[in-house]
Structure 1
Amino acid sequence: MKKIALSVTALMTTLTLWAQKDSATNALDEVVVTATKSPKKLSETGKVLTVISHEQLERSAGKDIAQVLNEQTGIVVNGATSNPGKDKSIYMRGAKSDYTLILIDGIPLYDPSGLSSNFDIRTIPIENIERVEILKGSQSTLYGADAIAGVINIITKRKGNKEVGAFATASYGSFNTFKGNAGVNGSTKTLDYNVAYTYYDTKGISEAKDPNGTGTFDKDGYKQHGVLANLGFKVNDHWKITPFLRYNTYNGKLDAGAYTDDRDYTYKSKSLQTGVRSELTFGKSRFTLNYSYNTIKRDYLNDSGYVPPYSDQYYSGGYKGTDQFAEIVYSTELAKGLQLVSGVDYRTSNTSQSNTYIGSWGQDVSKISKDSAMQHQFNAYASLLYTGKVFHAEAGARYNNNSIYGTKWTYNFNPFVFLNKEVKIFANISSAFKTPTLYQLYAPMYGNSSLKAESAVTYEGGVQYFQPEQKFNIRGVIYKRDVNNVIAFTNRYVNQDEQHNWGVEIEPTINFTENLQLVLQYAHTKGKLNTQLNGKDSSSSTLLRVPEDTYSMALNYRASKKLFLSMNIQTFGARKDLDFSTYPSTLVNLEAYTLWSAYGEYKFNKHVKVFADFKNITNTDYVEVLGYSTQPASVQAGLTVTF
């Protein structure tokens, strides 16, 4: 019965996805920048790239970026439907959460103070995002460290369509959640700008799940302030300078762990990213200079007012990280149909950390100093792109030199054919690496300065069909990824594991009419982990928190020029998670679940619209992360004004 239910859900999901006319698989002539680090039409790249368009994001005003990413094929974001303030972990194609690189406006961002260095996507309000480009497969040749599973390029809003404009969005919903965004934007012949302020406040739900349903677990709220400023100065017809600044601060409450409430465990975070992008063009050649400065500070406090069983009586932790990135990219047309993209970049990062624990066993203090916990990387890369009438190809390589582990090389080769502007057949072989984090290298007792970089090779093949009248298109992909020198934790961090994944992704889209579209998605993911235990090889076919099968269906319907409606159904198959209430921890099964959501908006005129976003309409009781709560049926409704 479960298989039948899943199949029915998959069919329904396919019908829904047909209804999303602005789906990435539709836009054959859409220009993207992430696939090759230069503007290219989707028809001119054989890489597996998905675009979340501006229009789709406009229809996601009741969501956050984690929930939007969680709707994409082959991506599971743990925490997306848990307590709103809970941390979000991105699993792309079954890979570990630290194998996906986050870019903002093409610049890679990291959290040097984190255990896995993942950038916190909670700091990026969806209202400030213009579009998102998701590039799957190992992508270190163009983007360097951490792009083992792929990259997610979040492109922020940069300008308005008149000299002076203003905008505002306000919404209120379940869990006493208020979201507000307001700002000004505009453009002239020499200047464009977008400045916005975002406020987010929710009382939330209990982060830990109450196993006995006592109703005594308190709510763990979350509050966020954010500022975005993008400027663009056109010096002349050939030179443009675009400085940027993003500042974000948030605070919230935590629980002590799975199934364990805590009433006075709090955290706060501040982050700042600033820098500049400069573009200089000469005929068919372009120089791009990127520089970014990124600093993050996080503090945790759990005082002794309330002490859950088996927990510390007191804990205080402070984490600070700084990362600087500089890059020069040069692209030019060497001959007709032959383009070169090359560049050099330099990255330096450091962290300082301090933790104090007090328990029944006594007191412990651990520190990491930024004077020792630092690393530097230098990279040089080049990629050749050939565009013919039928046959196309891209090939490239990157040289990486790291102050900790030395030299690393990566490569990619992507041939594809495009037949009659209808059928694209493509193949990819690419490699990638992930640097050890500063915590893994320098943590007291657990750190290991001899760690090597994790390395991966991904193989992809697929076909994409575009019906000439855009009524139907479909993409099917099969992939395999092998990762070596996987870092694991024993009594310290060591390179000891190998991870092997393979999977299938199928994405059909049907446009029944100009106003009715159905988009379907199916992803199947398998994984295997080989490890060394007591000198013997051991293997496990378990992907933690990642379902083998996911299905979704989105149906979008424009009932009139003013009214738009959509429905989405997602099914997440059975998964496994670790239960740490036992020692050693044990694997437990998590049941499959299906979530229904719906969205509607009504435009009174070109300046004013109202919207409502409904999640988990059937009030399904499900588990996303073992021991943590998930959101029941909820709604967020609001108003958007532009002038």
Structure 2
Amino acid sequence: MIYKTALLGAVALTCLPTAFADDTSNDEVAKTLGPIIIESSRLNQTLTEIGSSVDVITSADIEELGFDFAIDAIANAPSVTVNQNGGFGGQASVRIRGASSGQTLVMIDGVPVGDVSTTDGSFNFARLGTESIERIEILKGAQSTLWGTDAIGGVISITTKTPDEGFGGDAYAEIGSFETVRGGAAVEYGSDKGDFRISYNAIDSAGISKADAANRNDEEDGFESQSLTAKGGFNFTSTTRLEAGLIYQDSTTEIDGYQFGAQGNVGDSNDQSDVEEISGHAKLSFSLFSDKLENDILVGYSNIDRENSNAGVTSFAAEGERWLGRYQGLFTINDANKLAFGLEHEEGTFDSGSSFGSDDGEQTTDSIFAMYELQPVESLTLTAGVRVDDHDAYGTQTTGRVAAAYNPNDIVTLRASWGQGFKAPSLYQLYSQYGTPTLSPEESEGFDVGLDLRTPDNKGTFGVTYFDQEVTNQIDFSFATFTYDNIAKVNSSGVEVSGSYQLLNWLGVNANYAYIDAEDDAGEELVRIPEHSGDFTMSFTPEGPFSSAILVRYNGSEEDRNGKVDAWTRVDLSASYDVTSNVEVYTRIENLFDEEYQQILGYGTPGISGSFGLRLSY
């Protein structure tokens, strides 16, 4: 009780400066809404040209709300559902518009990082911190034409930081609830000849019980992780650059295990998961024909090695490895015509370490793609594309995409897109002890239409999107046969609404809401997808060294495999104070009103908790 009172007192103190800020509403500084280039579009289109629904989360957005992990930042986007089993390193998945987590392609610096040794090939966001993230692009809907087999429901493209000119760096130290300690440092240098950035980050926490403490699970499940990120490049000329990057992470997570009859069939146990993962890339970029043809040649690699154990005895082990080779050309024919094209070769291997079924599996895919952009008039952008994937097990698969964006003036954007998706079964679904080698690939088809508005004073935006997507041959685990099977068809449709406005020079608001109707062909709701969800953010940035923000997050009730997860609302606060131009203190309070809730049936979440940190920059 004393701890909660102290936290509430701290919140009251941090909010005081905003209450007495000068009202200078007649002289607000306009929040400029300049063109944002969507790199994952392959055509370097802006938000007003791409035709699809896209969310962009910048490092400034992440810092404003104090997010330590990428999963929290991604959850801030409409119709993006996150599920984590217990927090503090617990498995964290992302679903876009009702699509399953394995139907979302995740890339870091252009390299796919989904775990090919896990059940559905999805990426576990639990361990990915925000310290080295420059921006996150969330491209919604079937995008296989752009990015291939895994992009059946959407793409999350993460770009790591590149330094500004000159020598610099930063360091931070942070303490928080549940005996949590975080810290890290980065050093960087940039010039017209080249640049580099190296960062190290670590976290150690006693955590909470993964199985919900409300079900009399009182054993704390700790989490510790350390990561190293390095990225650099050399500029041979103004248009020729060689770049390389590497991300290494090693983590240990204490987890809870199967307990028949308990809520969600999970209870306290002595299990833990040790994970070592690495991803990297090398890319050569150069231009030809008076810079009309931009070329990128990329080689990417990712590897994840996992071992689960109970009381020191290995219960599960798996290793997944992924190689990627890609060439992409972007040819600007003239102001009205642009063509992106390329080739890809991807190899995935899987070693389950299992004594049942096949011990390993592999698959390769060769792809060719082309995207064409036409602007017949300045206000209209038309895009069409096609991709052919040659899979070693499933043969040739062709997907297409068309999109249109119309901007009759500076205020209005009308957009629409249609696309197809293709996803081969994961190596685990094919070759593990539960695998079915005769599975069919998943296929999707969907569209969205939307309207975006910008206020004449450039301080506000509003957007609404309707979407509809159908997936056939959806793969799921069959408890009747204890193997993976195609469960025919699922459909998801809904509406996304978002808006923001800079009310005063020191006060801004942002809100979003999503309605998702996701069902299988028998009319049953898909699990772990809320019908209603939304976020509301209020940001306080008065003149001077202080800033703060309030985040209210609502998640509607969800069906789970063995019951229902109730709706919940959580309130978080963050604040920072610039002691000097190089020294900042910051704090974050999560779950201010101590809401008891679950994201996955049977798994707990932290109650009211907080952290306090110091950051130095130079």
The verdict on a shared fold, with TM-score over 0.5 as the criterion, is: yes
Q: 2:120 aligns with which of 116, 124, 132?
A: 116
Deviations 1:45-75 (A, max 9, x none): 2221111112112234453111111122111
With 115-124 and 138-147 compared, the bigger mean Cα shift is at 115-124
In structure 1, C-alpha distance between the alignment counterparts of 2:285 and 2:230, rounded to whole Å: 19
- The residue correspondences of 1:392-431 to structure 2 (distance < 5 A) are 392-431=381-420
2:69 touches 2:127 (CA, 8 Å); kept in 1?
no
In structure 1, C-alpha distance between the alignment counterparts of 2:43 and 2:403, rounded to whole Å: 16
The answer to whether the aligner puts 1:144 opposite 2:148 as a matched pair is: yes
Match of 1:128 in 2: 132
In structure 2, C-alpha distance between the alignment counterparts of 1:545 and 1:613, rounded to whole Å: 28
C-alpha spacing 1:62/1:426, structure 2 compared with 1 (3 Å): closer
Deviations 1:553-586 (A, max 9, x none): 100011223111111111111221122xxxxxxx
Describe the SS at the equivalent of 1:59: helix
- The residue correspondences of 1:103-252 to structure 2 (distance < 5 A) are 103-162=107-166, 164-213=167-216, 217-252=218-253
Amino acid at match of 1:248: Q
C-alpha spacing 1:315/1:185, structure 2 compared with 1 (3 Å): closer
Amino acid at match of 1:380: I
Amino acid at match of 1:246: I
Deviations 1:98-136 (A, max 9, x none): 111101112222211111111222343210101111111
In structure 2, C-alpha distance between the alignment counterparts of 1:176 and 1:489, rounded to whole Å: 38
Match of 1:452 in 2: 440
- The residue correspondences of 1:3-152 to structure 2 (distance < 5 A) are 27-34=33-40, 36-79=41-84, 82-152=86-156
Q: 1:493 aligns with which of 463, 477, 484?
A: 484
Q: 2:458 aligns with which of 465, 470, 475?
A: 470
Q: 1:524 aligns with which of 508, 515, 522?
A: 515
Match of 1:603 in 2: 578
The answer to whether the aligner puts 1:269 opposite 2:275 as a matched pair is: yes
In structure 1, C-alpha distance between the alignment counterparts of 2:218 and 2:423, rounded to whole Å: 39
The answer to whether the aligner puts 1:484 opposite 2:472 as a matched pair is: yes
How far residue 259 of structure 1 moved from its aligned partner, in angstroms, is 5.8
Q: Unpaired runs of 5+ in structure 2? A: 1-30, 259-263
The answer to whether the aligner puts 1:502 opposite 2:493 as a matched pair is: yes
C-alpha spacing 1:158/1:266, structure 2 compared with 1 (3 Å): same
Amino acid at match of 2:557: A
C-alpha spacing 1:261/1:275, structure 2 compared with 1 (3 Å): same
Match of 1:569 in 2: 552
In structure 2, C-alpha distance between the alignment counterparts of 1:243 and 1:315, rounded to whole Å: 36
2:439 touches 2:485 (CA, 8 Å); kept in 1?
yes
Amino acid at match of 1:515: W
- The residue correspondences of 1:564-643 to structure 2 (distance < 5 A) are 564-579=547-562, 588-643=563-618
1:158 touches 1:193 (CA, 8 Å); kept in 2?
yes
In structure 2, C-alpha distance between the alignment counterparts of 1:421 and 1:183, rounded to whole Å: 40
1:404 touches 1:449 (CA, 8 Å); kept in 2?
no
- Superposed CA RMSD in Å reads 1.7
In structure 1, C-alpha distance between the alignment counterparts of 2:568 and 2:468, rounded to whole Å: 27
Match of 2:317 in 1: 318
Moved over 6 A (4+): none
In structure 1, C-alpha distance between the alignment counterparts of 2:604 and 2:566, rounded to whole Å: 15
How far residue 29 of structure 1 moved from its aligned partner, in angstroms, is 1.3
How far residue 367 of structure 1 moved from its aligned partner, in angstroms, is 5.7
Match of 2:27 in 1: none
In structure 2, C-alpha distance between the alignment counterparts of 1:518 and 1:60, rounded to whole Å: 13
Amino acid at match of 1:45: I
In structure 2, C-alpha distance between the alignment counterparts of 1:426 and 1:624, rounded to whole Å: 33
2:307 touches 2:314 (CA, 8 Å); kept in 1?
no
In structure 2, C-alpha distance between the alignment counterparts of 1:354 and 1:244, rounded to whole Å: 30
Match of 1:20 in 2: none
Deviations 1:371-406 (A, max 9, x none): xx0000000000001123122110000000101111
In structure 2, C-alpha distance between the alignment counterparts of 1:126 and 1:412, rounded to whole Å: 32
In structure 2, C-alpha distance between the alignment counterparts of 1:640 and 1:519, rounded to whole Å: 27
In structure 2, C-alpha distance between the alignment counterparts of 1:26 and 1:406, rounded to whole Å: 48
How far residue 354 of structure 1 moved from its aligned partner, in angstroms, is 1.9
In structure 1, C-alpha distance between the alignment counterparts of 2:57 and 2:477, rounded to whole Å: 36
Match of 1:302 in 2: 310
The answer to whether the aligner puts 1:254 opposite 2:255 as a matched pair is: yes
Amino acid at match of 2:329: Y
2:516 touches 2:532 (CA, 8 Å); kept in 1?
yes
Deviations 1:128-186 (A, max 9, x none): 10111111111111100111221111110122331x21211211101111111202001
Amino acid at match of 2:339: L
1:542 touches 1:576 (CA, 8 Å); kept in 2?
yes
1:61 touches 1:126 (CA, 8 Å); kept in 2?
no
Amino acid at match of 1:369: D
Match of 2:339 in 1: 340
How far residue 211 of structure 1 moved from its aligned partner, in angstroms, is 4.8
1:292 touches 1:325 (CA, 8 Å); kept in 2?
yes
1:459 touches 1:481 (CA, 8 Å); kept in 2?
yes
In structure 2, C-alpha distance between the alignment counterparts of 1:60 and 1:594, rounded to whole Å: 17
The answer to whether the aligner puts 1:366 opposite 2:365 as a matched pair is: no
In structure 1, C-alpha distance between the alignment counterparts of 2:565 and 2:486, rounded to whole Å: 29
Which TM-score applies when normalising by structure 1? 0.87
Describe the SS at the equivalent of 1:622: coil
In structure 2, C-alpha distance between the alignment counterparts of 1:94 and 1:495, rounded to whole Å: 17
In structure 2, C-alpha distance between the alignment counterparts of 1:123 and 1:222, rounded to whole Å: 10
2:81 touches 2:95 (CA, 8 Å); kept in 1?
yes
2:450 touches 2:465 (CA, 8 Å); kept in 1?
yes
How far residue 481 of structure 1 moved from its aligned partner, in angstroms, is 0.2
Higher RCO, 1 or 2 (CA under 8 Å, sep at least 6)?
1
In structure 1, C-alpha distance between the alignment counterparts of 2:487 and 2:559, rounded to whole Å: 22
2:474 touches 2:488 (CA, 8 Å); kept in 1?
yes
1:62 touches 1:636 (CA, 8 Å); kept in 2?
no
Match of 2:26 in 1: none
2:329 touches 2:342 (CA, 8 Å); kept in 1?
yes
Describe the SS at the equivalent of 2:221: coil
2:78 touches 2:513 (CA, 8 Å); kept in 1?
yes
How far residue 97 of structure 1 moved from its aligned partner, in angstroms, is 1.5
Amino acid at match of 1:327: R
